[in-house]
Amino acid sequence: MGYPYPSHPKETVVLSRYFGDPEARTYDGWVQRGGYEALRKALGMTREAIVEEVKASGLRGRGGAGFPTGLKWSFMPKEVVKPHYLLCNADESEPGTFKDREIMRWTPHALIEGCAIAAHAIGAERCYIYIRGEFTEPWAVMSAAVEEAYAHGALGANAFGSGKRVDMVLHRGAGAYICGEETAMMNSVEGKRGNPRIKPPFPAVAGLFGMPTTINNVETLAAVPHILNRGAAWYKSLCLGNPKSTGTKLISICGHIQRPGNYEVTMGTPLREILYEMAGGPRPGHTFKAIIPGGSSVPIMTREEAEAALFDYEGIVEQGSMLGSAGMIVMDDTTDMVYQIWRLARFYAHESCAQCTQCREGTAWTTRVLARILAGQGKQEDYQLLLDLAENMTGKTICVLSDSCAAPVVSGIQKFRSEFEAYIAGAREPALAAV
Amino acid sequence: MNAHSAHGGHGSATTVPHEPVFVGEARERLERLFALYPTKQACLLPALWMVQEVRGWISEPAIGEVAEALGITPAYVKGVVTFYTMYHTHPVGRHFIQVCTTTPCNICGAEDVVKAVLSASGCGDLGATSPDGRFTVIEVECLGACGFATPILVDDDFIENVTPDKVPGILQRYP
């Protein structure tokens, strides 16, 4: 549902059905709504059967990369000769994205159930849920729910009497965007600085504490109980034409739009319907100028591109961007694109872990050059300078943080060049003081 | 404790004796944490949260105490403390205010909310503590509530849809 607004008829409400319903937060309330049936079922299934079911559903990672979930699970060793771990990524910090927060706030048991099923499927007895430090309310709700799940025997040494151990530990982050990157997150759980690790080794081989590990996003895991309850075929049928993108997806919409919130749609829904019908379109008297469709780390789309796009992994790529986390930042005709691109670059410069030179220097220099342009001191050479910096920040570092900084800069120069030009030519009042 | 007394300049760390944090109940909580992770070092972030909860910030002697409790060096602990922005390495006001100003909030007027908070709190500048010791205000990167612009965190209270006109009323709730 378009929480905090009621469901729109064009939504397909699966994960968000109980958003805003406080009774769904309790164990009993969740069971009354059909909760924990999937976990009971899963505990009676073999690991392989669960993995096959999830593979057949077509579920792909909802954190941003879109990697097939069942396939990821199948990379875990078949024999458990040392501890396996499940790490749930609840470090939602991609600007524009606020869906995992609502899953945890309103349906904590959906996540616990999904985690428990996934842990069993990958042969893990322990799951760590990494919740960003700023999420005080989700933390409190999740803490209470985990305690309740233990008290009712859903978790613990003998989950639902199955003889299988499923333990769940909440781990609180402390303010670092980069810890949402899976290898940085593993370091953070281990009590280290959140520096991403070089891959390989991949987490399924040597992950958390050097042990085989699977990392999944909150929304991905919350979808798993529904797949077990209603079957892979049902989930796969939630698709409007492109068989590579199945199921429902939560979209966080924010910025200059009439009804910002979380909407849940079937993959393949026209983006135009989402923006104009579900979320209510632009503010009166305004038109959209730009949409960043997948959290701030993806290329900026023009209004025309967004209006032509189908909302699924491939559909957004066809229109020049990426689905990412589906956190949509909507900007209307009042937006100063240069200023906002500078603000994004500043975000990445602030959040760089500073391990890789290209990122540490590149994000900082990009920010400075953009600030110079905004201060009315830009030069014609700055376009090429920014593009050169972006080139050196793309595909050359341990993680993709610097690529993410480059994406809005490059797409911004390509698509909104006249706005840069206005500052450089002195046709627009400086937005920042000279440095 | 007066949060500013331990920050009195050169040598204060040696002149103000450090009262251990991990005694009694806090020690027991730490011991229980050890059971949740395969290494003691993994308890570092939770242990630092405990220090900040009890003391309001993480001092050099507290870093030493955490290091000893977990069997790692103080230098290592300091490296971790300074990596994460939510740990305070100096005393802050009684109430710590974080205002999101990243792009989605920025386009919805977050910078005006910052101005209103700085003015109503008496802090004047970002990062500064108000003269009465009541507030410290910082800008924070994306709080993950972009559809409810502008969100602010006052201590552990997450407040959504803040506009400049609401700021004085919100701050009144924090004496």
Give the per-residue pLDDT at A98.
97
- Judge whether A277 and A8 are in contact, CB under 8 Å: yes
d(CA A55, nearest CA chain B) in Å: 30
Q: Which residues of A fall within a CB distance of 8 Å from B41?
A: 190-192
pLDDT bin (cut points 50, 70, 90) of residue B1 is: very low
Q: Do B43 and A98 touch (CB under 8 A)?
A: no
Can you tell me the mean pLDDT for A398-423?
97
Measure CB to CB from residue A347 to each of B48, B102, B107 and give the nearest one: B102
Kindly tell me if the per-residue pLDDT of B11 is higher than 60: no
Q: Do B140 and A329 touch (CB under 8 A)?
A: no
Give the per-residue pLDDT at A64.
87
**pTM across the whole model:** 0.95
Q: Does residue B3 belong to the interface with chain A, where contact is any CB pair within 8 Å?
A: no
- Judge whether B94 and B135 are in contact, CB under 8 Å: yes
Q: What is the pLDDT of residues A275-294, one digit of tens each?
A: 999 999 999 999 999 999 99
Q: Which residues contact A228 (CB under 8 A, 6 or more apart)?
A: A38, A41, A42, A50, A53, A117
- Judge whether A226 and A215 are in contact, CB under 8 Å: no
Give the per-residue pLDDT at A47.
97
Kindly tell me if the per-residue pLDDT of B3 is higher than 90: no
Give the per-residue pLDDT at B15.
57
Can you tell me the mean pLDDT for A152-178?
97
Can you tell me the mean pLDDT for A191-211?
98
- Looking at every residue in chain A, the average pLDDT score rounds to 96
Any idea which residue has 């032509």 for tokens?
A: A308
Can you tell me the mean pLDDT for A382-406?
97
Neighbouring C-beta atoms of residue A310, cutoff 10 Å? 20
**What's the CA dihedral at A55, A61, A62, A64 to 10 degrees?**
-150
Q: What is the pLDDT of residues B17-69, one digit of tens each?
A: 889 999 999 999 999 999 999 999 999 999 999 999 999 999 999 999 999 99
Probe site for chain A from B30, B34, B45 (most A CB atoms < 10 A):
B45
Q: Do B85 and A175 touch (CB under 8 A)?
A: yes
Q: Do B84 and A331 touch (CB under 8 A)?
A: no
- Judge whether B116 and B164 are in contact, CB under 8 Å: yes
Report the percentage of chain A scoring pLDDT > 90: 96
Can you tell me the mean pLDDT for A46-51?
98
**Hey, what are A48's tokens?**
């392989």
Kindly tell me if the per-residue pLDDT of A379 is higher than 50: yes
User: In chain A, whose CA is at the least distance from the CA of B85?
Assistant: A175
User: In chain B, whose CA is at the least distance from the CA of A254?
Assistant: B147
Give the per-residue pLDDT at B5.
40
**Hey, what are B113's tokens?**
């909310």
Report the percentage of chain B scoring pLDDT > 70: 91
Q: Does residue B79 belong to the interface with chain A, where contact is any CB pair within 8 Å?
A: yes
Probe site for chain B from A127, A254, A291 (most B CB atoms < 10 A):
A254
